[in-house]
Amino acid sequence: MNNKERFTDRVDTYVKYRPSYPQKALDFLYGKVGFSDRSIIADIGAGTGIFSGLLLDRGSRVVALEPNEAMREAAIKQYASHPRYASCPGSAERTGLSEESVHHIVCAQSFHWFDRPAAREEFRRILKPDGRVALIWNSRRTAGTPFLEQFEQLLLRYGTDYEKVGHKNITRQTLSEFFSDDGPALEVFASEQRLDEEGLKGRLLSSSYCPLPGHPNYEPMMERLSVIFKQCAVDGLVTMTYDTELYWGTV
């Protein structure tokens, strides 16, 4: 499947069930990294606008680039009337933006889909001098509680291409050639998402590696998910724990 189309059938669940990002991560961007309410920020691979909204809340101007039409339209529906928001159908490799037109770039849950050499060249073209790039992932913990461990095993057993398309192979070392100088700096922020059974199912279905109805793995995966929830829920909820990883620097 074309990576740019992987989420077309999952927009509704993505909007409803994907987690946001911790405010401490935003505080860090608007402190140490240098984002400000005067910044023009390109949100590349902006998806349904989860991170764009957080940047708008801080007063920045946001140019959201998303090649998937269904995801882009979901974000436009929410933010089109916002005076500091603009949306474009560009990609990381071909943004369509002018040279030196943005102060900073952020990629939230998206960089692992990019053609890195082409994206680096394009990022350097559109950034103003001394502009920073921030790459952010909500990295789900795979161990530490029975729920996290059983959920990971569920994905390994029934996910369509879980081990191939995730971002778990992203490290400072693998990003060293993308960033200049000594590579990116890394900050990590803890966060969590508490989900009832419907929310857990929706969170799973929002992932591109989760089989959809009609796939032979769909029914057994959902049956196993229900068993895991019943075994692990406390007061009707399970806790998905994340390490929000923020890599940043210049390119």
Q: Which of 40-54, 108-122, 155-169, 199-213 has the lowest mean pLDDT?
A: 155-169
Domains of the chain plus CATH, in order, are: 3-140+164-191+242-249 (3.40.50.150)
**Mean pLDDT of all residues in 86-90:** 95
Q: Which of 5-19, 129-143, 177-191 has the lowest mean pLDDT?
A: 5-19
H helical segments located in the chain: 11-17, 23-28, 50-57, 69-79, 116-126, 146-158, 162-165, 197-205, 218-232
Confidence bin at 3 (pLDDT 50/70/90): very low
What are phi and psi for residue 201, nearest 5 degrees?
A: -65, -45
CA quadruple 169, 159, 65, 32: dihedral, nearest 10: -40
**Mean pLDDT of all residues in 194-209:** 91
Q: Does residue 8 surpass a pLDDT of 80?
A: no
**Mean pLDDT of all residues in 166-185:** 84
Average pLDDT, the chain: 91
Q: Does residue 240 surpass a pLDDT of 50?
A: yes
**Mean pLDDT of all residues in 33-56:** 97
Confidence bin at 163 (pLDDT 50/70/90): low
